[in-house]
Structure 1
């Protein structure tokens, strides 16, 4: 027990107080957003559809709805909580929340292992308070589990890498093998460990250690192969998804062939400091000039410390630096061959490594200048971004990553509370995923007419609405009709960007075209407008 506590506590009691404050604050903010219980946004809807309607066997055999994919262990655990607590957002998000809690606690031994006291506390503070990491702790997607997978991999590395007994190496191999069934991205971490440690052993000519270390490495490889051929290949990245990531430049240019390709690295390093690390001062962007705003957000401090941290690790302990860098290298190589996109949520799993390097940069400057005030100042400056972002997310939860904010549930409840027995409800094709899911979860009083997607079968808006008459005739005898459409998700799974071209004319939005068509024969009685879903109650003229 004492040994376990030693791994989590510092000798300095003041640091322990600060540690407890960071962890409890991280817990409290995560719980706030968990019980705030925002509506599922479309990405969550896509995955939740399978988790709500499929049983364990169907989740295992796949494929999932809407070309979704997630680790089989994650799917089964979420399904367990849905069966236990019912079909609701709280049940869906409970497993990611648990993973978020565990990540904040289990990151402490890792920070202590790689860093000195104050930088270690800084690293824990960043992980606890990063708004993006908080967000993914209450999102029904696998990214919080992926983060926990990375943290568990590092904890097991610390515990077992210096042990040479066969029993311990088998234990390490089995534990890593289990993680691979809960986290796709953990393959980068474990493969990085395997390659990095093997190189170290070979360079040092530690042949015995090298050969016995093949036990866990081989078990990880076997687990990955089994998992891939049994499950993962069924959800493998489709050409359509790769097309979208390629179009939005989410794959690393490999090799860089132009100035634009080189700029990709600088741009994505800047963005990563914001999402998922949360280190930018987003409250300071007050200028209309984009370049000035970037400066005001203070990206240079964490970026400089990141570079200094890598240098300091190589200078102080080359072995540890290799262990930390190889997962990053493998991740970039996978992105370069278009197997792993690098944007927003896809950085979450590797964020502990970047945090350690940044905190190491603080340690380097502190040791270099021997000034306690410098260390304290940098500590505060680095925490301003995540701390203000986290607190702001509680004060203004409606603005918490507003591009992922949805009012799907609220819009359908708006209809349900005002629905009359002879009303018709028409859900346009681009909002059907949300309706179909929430209908199963909340059992609304109405059953909607589901709109047909006829874009690809049409040559223009005139032809499109003529074909849609098949849908419209279903409520031609109803005096009142509710029309529901999504103003954010204007494409469907499998669509190419802005195709068909006639549908995405810039003169007006496709959904505005739709409502204008209705207004030819109906007049609006009630309108509900939200960030993503719009509802019209129309009455025939």
Structure 2
């Protein structure tokens, strides 16, 4: 008589050898079915991520404000002018700009060709996440992929002309190369130095396509240096010092050739001022900054609606990853001291989309934390799996709903191309076209792209207030009076369609309230670029003012 445990966790008493064989076969079949199901789930999630990005690339409307600003620096410059300082308060790595420029030279200029490279980097990042995470087991792999694929921000930045998906891709590749180096040296592989050399080459190249990757490289470089010292690998220590010097030399050359022209951008520093860490913290509000920004990072840019839950699970993920492989855990976390150091030195903020390169690491820790927390609470595999599934659904359902409304069932909306076409059809050279501070960049891009010359009046004071009017700056009032007095009959205004969340009136509300005193709105055309307003000034006040 033999007492054996069934595949369902129940103890059974079997008497015959054939019964034991049958029981083992049943358990093997059950495990095989679950493995096949898990494999199907993994590939289904990957397929969804790939298709969602390609679908968004093909169906999204034209470029928006920030995209037109960076596109203006690419489309209307020759290949030999790409190294010149960027205009419109933009900042991007030189190699990334050259790749997009080459893409437009080969395939022509369109919204799709401009966004193609970030989309490909987004797909590659999803694949790299899969390659790195599959070593942790199918449950961790599924948790990480589901959470990462569900993040709307990851999907959104995969179809924008921004370098953020490239940043994340380069960061994950650097960590994979570093972990492979550690593994090879631990195994005393004769080819271990070759892996270190490849890491060095990758680091030199990557800084030209993602300047923030130097933060990741600094962390893994210091970690590898400590590891080599502990392993007494003298050749590797010397090699790491040489590689670190080459990384700094590459970044320094990139800075001298291109980045130095963007360093003094006061607008960007003021815009991201809330992302700079107060150091040393001298008040309670200064101390609160650190946990507040930590949890906020899981909301923006990581995309979790339940940011506090995600932040706590990430802590469990650190513990779980540490138990799995300490060097891999250190490698993943090694960049964080440099991240906060640069933030404290007011050199690079820890806030919003500019830390997109950290999102893959956050998602990895959250996914690992889901499984680690489930294993802490339950002993049985089935219970762990069910509880992990509940946690995953709790985190991803709010994000997936945004996929439906913003990607799959995104309502059709007129865009910048439609704006220019409408003006071509319904305006003439004598009519002034007013643009505010935010619509100016996009308008200039699309007008230049279509080769249209219009009589444009730009207003850089539209978002400021003044003493002459409680809601409009005095310079804005002068611009509006110029439109009212100089036009013979009609004028057009393109104003931003953003609605403030603090209850204050929008720029459209403030401008129309003033213009309604002198004329009448005869057309309102909302677009992705802004709201196009058509005014007719036939009141006597317009002539007597």
The TM-score range, normalised by the shorter chain, is: 0.7 to 0.9
TM-score between the two structures when normalised by the length of structure 1: 0.81
Contact 1:130-1:386 at 8 Å conserved across structures: no
**SS class of match (1:537):** strand
**SS class of match (1:214):** helix
**SS class of match (1:370):** coil
Which blocks of at least 5 consecutive residues in structure 2 are unaligned?
A: 1-33, 186-190, 539-545
| Cα drift, residue 341 of structure 1 | 1.2
Q: Which residue of 2 aligns with 1:109?
A: 131
Contact 2:65-2:529 at 8 Å conserved across structures: no
**SS class of match (1:424):** coil
1:87-486 paired onto structure 2 within 5 Å = 87-113=109-135, 115-161=136-182, 162=184, 166-236=193-263, 238-246=265-273, 249-280=274-305, 297=306, 299-368=307-376, 369-384=378-393, 387-389=396-398, 391-397=400-406, 409=416, 412-413=419-420, 415-416=422-423, 418-421=425-428, 424-430=431-437, 431-444=439-452, 447-453=454-460, 460-461=468-469, 464=475, 467-468=478-479, 471-472=482-483, 476-486=486-496
Map Cα deviations across residues 442-462 of structure 1 (whole Å, 9 max, x no partner): 445x62423254689986349
Q: For structure 1, which segment, 143-152 or 257-266, has the greater mean C-alpha deviation from structure 2 after superposition?
A: 257-266
Would you say 1:525 and 2:522 are equivalent positions? yes
Contact 1:40-1:406 at 8 Å conserved across structures: no
| Cα drift, residue 433 of structure 1 | 0.7
Q: For structure 1, which segment, 300-309 or 332-341, has the greater mean C-alpha deviation from structure 2 after superposition?
A: 300-309
Contact 2:434-2:494 at 8 Å conserved across structures: yes
1: distance between equivalents of 2:98 and 2:409? 29
| Cα drift, residue 229 of structure 1 | 1.7
TM-score between the two structures when normalised by the length of structure 2: 0.80
2: distance between equivalents of 1:407 and 1:270? 36
Would you say 1:59 and 2:66 are equivalent positions? no
**Aligned in 2, Cα 1:168/1:534: closer, same or farther, shift over 3 Å?**
closer
Contact 1:181-1:227 at 8 Å conserved across structures: yes
Map Cα deviations across residues 137-182 of structure 1 (whole Å, 9 max, x no partner): 0111111111111122123224444255554433321122111110
Q: Which residue of 2 aligns with 1:28?
A: 51
| Cα drift, residue 189 of structure 1 | 1.0
2: distance between equivalents of 1:399 and 1:18? 21
1: distance between equivalents of 2:214 and 2:326? 22
Map Cα deviations across residues 216-241 of structure 1 (whole Å, 9 max, x no partner): 33332222222222222122252332
| Cα drift, residue 390 of structure 1 | 5.2
| Cα drift, residue 361 of structure 1 | 2.2
2: distance between equivalents of 1:32 and 1:186? 29
| Cα drift, residue 36 of structure 1 | 2.0
Larger radius of gyration between Structure 1 and Structure 2: 2
Contact 2:179-2:328 at 8 Å conserved across structures: no
| Cα drift, residue 423 of structure 1 | 6.3
**Aligned in 2, Cα 1:155/1:320: closer, same or farther, shift over 3 Å?**
closer
2: distance between equivalents of 1:443 and 1:385? 50
Contact 1:99-1:137 at 8 Å conserved across structures: yes
2: distance between equivalents of 1:156 and 1:441? 42
Which blocks of at least 5 consecutive residues in structure 1 are unaligned?
A: 1-10, 281-296, 491-505
Q: Which residue of 1 aligns with 2:107?
A: 85
Contact 2:168-2:357 at 8 Å conserved across structures: yes
2: distance between equivalents of 1:472 and 1:94? 40
Map Cα deviations across residues 329-370 of structure 1 (whole Å, 9 max, x no partner): 211211121111122212321122222222332343344432
Map Cα deviations across residues 386-416 of structure 1 (whole Å, 9 max, x no partner): 64355423431289999xx996527615733
Would you say 1:50 and 2:77 are equivalent positions? no
Report the count of equivalent residues: 492
Contact 2:436-2:494 at 8 Å conserved across structures: no
Contact 2:147-2:363 at 8 Å conserved across structures: yes
| Cα drift, residue 512 of structure 1 | 4.0
2: distance between equivalents of 1:522 and 1:219? 65
| Cα drift, residue 540 of structure 1 | 2.8
Q: Which residue of 2 aligns with 1:294?
A: none
Which structure has more relative contact order (CA 8 Å, sep 6+)? It is: 1
Q: Which residue of 2 aligns with 1:15?
A: 38
Q: Which residue of 2 aligns with 1:292?
A: none
